């Protein structure tokens, strides 16, 4: 019975399997040494009172986690992270999809526009952040200047506790290049026959988008959302360069909170605990997305 269930493997298939493992070996070694190893190492350190030196390292159990949960700033940073993540992922994905659809049109000059929209993504993060500091400048920034031309008094953007998070979200929208490219590839992979069939059935532009494009693109959208959430949680450069977690604590996100604990307060054990909480939060959110994905992600068989 068992013999009938296990398919016999031919020598050539075995050789192919060995070559497969050989090719992924460098990546596997990298994953274990540079990712899994440190992740587990940090888990261990999160149960210690590690500061800078490893000398005098003591096991403190869950003390670091208790410290975090009792710290108001930690919860502020969790809230800020979720706020910015939701904004970035929702608006960023919509904008990336909008751009991908635009750039999927057969009009002259499309390669130029694709390059233009991708450009911010290949520019150094610090340079982009510095440019945005000036764009958000309340007095002489181009954003408020444009609003003034429309008779609107612009807010103080990154200098306001209310507007700093929306500012960071707005800024992130202009770095959707990679997601745009992924979605563009997804759009180009949708068979034209499906649109032709829909047209024969009398579908208009919206019906074609809602009933053909979105379902066919859903696996790609799902992937884009997963990686966007992870990227948003890990975003550090903009906070470091533009706001340093302020004004007040209004842009203090988890990675900034982690960094301050590690390299300003030297509470490496606490910082390790924060790193693990970020990891668990991301795993949890990804799990939720996979569960929700079953309802809306359509895989072509």
Partner 1 sequence: MSREKLSRRAFLKLAAASGSGVALAGLGPLSSIASAQDSVELTFGRHWEAAFRPRQAEYDEGFMERHPNISINITYNTWADHNNVVPAWAAAGTLPDIIYVHGSRVVPWAHEGIIIDIHDIVTPDEEFDVDNMWEESLRLYRINGRLHALPYDHGPLILGYNVDMFDAAGMDYPNEEWTMDDLREAAIALSKPDEFQWGWSGELDLGNGGSDFFLGAWGGRKMSDDETEMILDSPESREALNFWYSLIHEENAGPSATEAEGFGDNPWQNGRCGMAVVPTWETPSLRAFASFNWDVAPTPMGADGTRRTGAFGSGYGITPTSGQPDVAWTYLREYLSNEGMIFMWSLSGRGSPARPEALEVWFTSDPAPPSAHYYRDAMFDYAVTGRPYETIAGAQVSDVLSREAELLRLGETTVDGAIAAIMEEGQAALDSVAEDM
Taking CB under 8 A as the rule, does residue 63 contact partner 1? no
Binding map of partner 1 across residues 20-59, x = CB under 8 A, - = no contact = -------------------------------xxx-x----
Taking CB under 8 A as the rule, does residue 139 contact partner 1? yes
Taking CB under 8 A as the rule, does residue 238 contact partner 1? no
Least distance in Å: CB of 277 to partner 1?
20
**Distance, first Cα to last Cα, the chain:** 29
Taking CB under 8 A as the rule, does residue 156 contact partner 1? yes
Nearest in space to 117 (alpha carbons), one of 169, 185, 167, 179: 179
Taking CB under 8 A as the rule, does residue 125 contact partner 1? no
Q: Which of 246, 281, 285, 289 binds partner 1 (CB under 8 A)?
A: 246
Q: Which is nearer to partner 1, 140 or 150 (CB)?
A: 140
Taking CB under 8 A as the rule, does residue 247 contact partner 1? yes
Taking CB under 8 A as the rule, does residue 98 contact partner 1? no
Taking CB under 8 A as the rule, does residue 137 contact partner 1? yes
- CB contact at 8 A, 100 and 118: no
Taking CB under 8 A as the rule, does residue 75 contact partner 1? no
Segment lying near partner 1 (by CB under 8 A), choices 6-14, 159-167, 219-227, 278-286 = 159-167
- CB contact at 8 A, 235 and 13: no
Taking CB under 8 A as the rule, does residue 248 contact partner 1? yes
- CB contact at 8 A, 276 and 46: yes
Taking CB under 8 A as the rule, does residue 12 contact partner 1? no
| Three-class secondary structure of residue 48 per DSSP | strand
CA distances (Å), origin 9, targets 13, 14, 16, 91: 6, 7, 11, 49
Q: Where are the alpha helices (DSSP H) in the chain?
A: 2-5, 11-30, 37-45, 63-70, 72-102, 110-122, 125-135, 142-149, 164-173, 177-188, 192-200, 205-208, 214-233, 237-238, 254-263, 268-296
Q: How many residues does the chain have?
A: 301
Q: Which is nearer to partner 1, 153 or 294 (CB)?
A: 153
How many whole angstroms separate alpha carbon 117 and alpha carbon 119?
Answer: 6
Taking CB under 8 A as the rule, does residue 160 contact partner 1? yes
Three-state SS letters, 51-109: CCCCCCCCECCCHHHHHHHHCHHHHHHHHHHHHHHHHHHHHHHHHHHHHHHHCCCCCCC
Q: Which of 2, 6, 107, 140 binds partner 1 (CB under 8 A)?
A: 140
Q: Which of 79, 102, 113, 159 binds partner 1 (CB under 8 A)?
A: 159
Q: How many residues bind partner 1 (CB under 8 A)?
A: 24
Least distance in Å: CB of 272 to partner 1?
12
Binding map of partner 1 across residues 251-280, x = CB under 8 A, - = no contact = --------xx-xxxxx-x------------
Q: Which is nearer to partner 1, 80 or 156 (CB)?
A: 156
Burial of 77 (0-12, 13-18, 19+ CB in 10 A): buried
Contact residues toward partner 1 (CB under 8 A) are 51-53, 55, 137-140, 156, 159-161, 246-249, 259-260, 262-266, 268
């Amino acid at each position: 019975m068992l013999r009938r269930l296990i398919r016999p493997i031919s020598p050539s298939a075995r050789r192919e399997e060995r070559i497969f493992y050989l090719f992924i070996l460098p990546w596997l070694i990298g994953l274990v040494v540079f990712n899994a190893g440190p992740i587990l190492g940090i888990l261990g350190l999160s149960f210690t009172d590690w500061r800078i030196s490893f000398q005098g390292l003591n096991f403190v159990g869950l003390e670091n986690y208790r410290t975090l949960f009792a710290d108001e700033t930690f919860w502020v940073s969790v809230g800020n992270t979720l706020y910015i993540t939701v904004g970035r992922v929702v608006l960023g994905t919509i904008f990336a999809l909008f751009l991908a659809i635009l750039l999927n049109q057969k009009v002259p000059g499309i390669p130029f526009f694709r390059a233009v929209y991708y450009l911010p993504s290949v520019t150094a993060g610090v340079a982009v952040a510095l440019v945005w500091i000036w764009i958000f400048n309340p007095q002489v920034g181009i954003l408020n200047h444009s609003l003034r031309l429309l008779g609107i008094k612009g807010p103080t953007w990154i200098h306001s506790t209310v507007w700093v998070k929306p500012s960071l979200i707005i800024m992130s929208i202009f770095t959707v290049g990679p997601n745009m490219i992924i979605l563009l590839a997804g759009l180009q992979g949708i068979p034209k026959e499906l649109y032709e069939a829909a047209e024969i059935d009398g579908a208009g532009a919206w019906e074609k988008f809602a009933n053909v494009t979105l379902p066919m693109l859903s696996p790609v959208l799902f992937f884009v959302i997963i990686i966007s959430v992870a990227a948003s949680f890990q975003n550090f450069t903009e906070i470091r360069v533009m706001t340093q977690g302020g004004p007040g604590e209004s842009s203090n996100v988890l990675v900034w909170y982690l960094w301050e604990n590690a390299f300003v307060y030297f509470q490496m054990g606490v910082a390790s605990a924060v790193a693990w909480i970020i990891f668990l939060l991301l795993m949890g959110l990804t799990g939720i997305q996979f569960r929700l994905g079953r309802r809306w992600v359509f895989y072509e068989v």
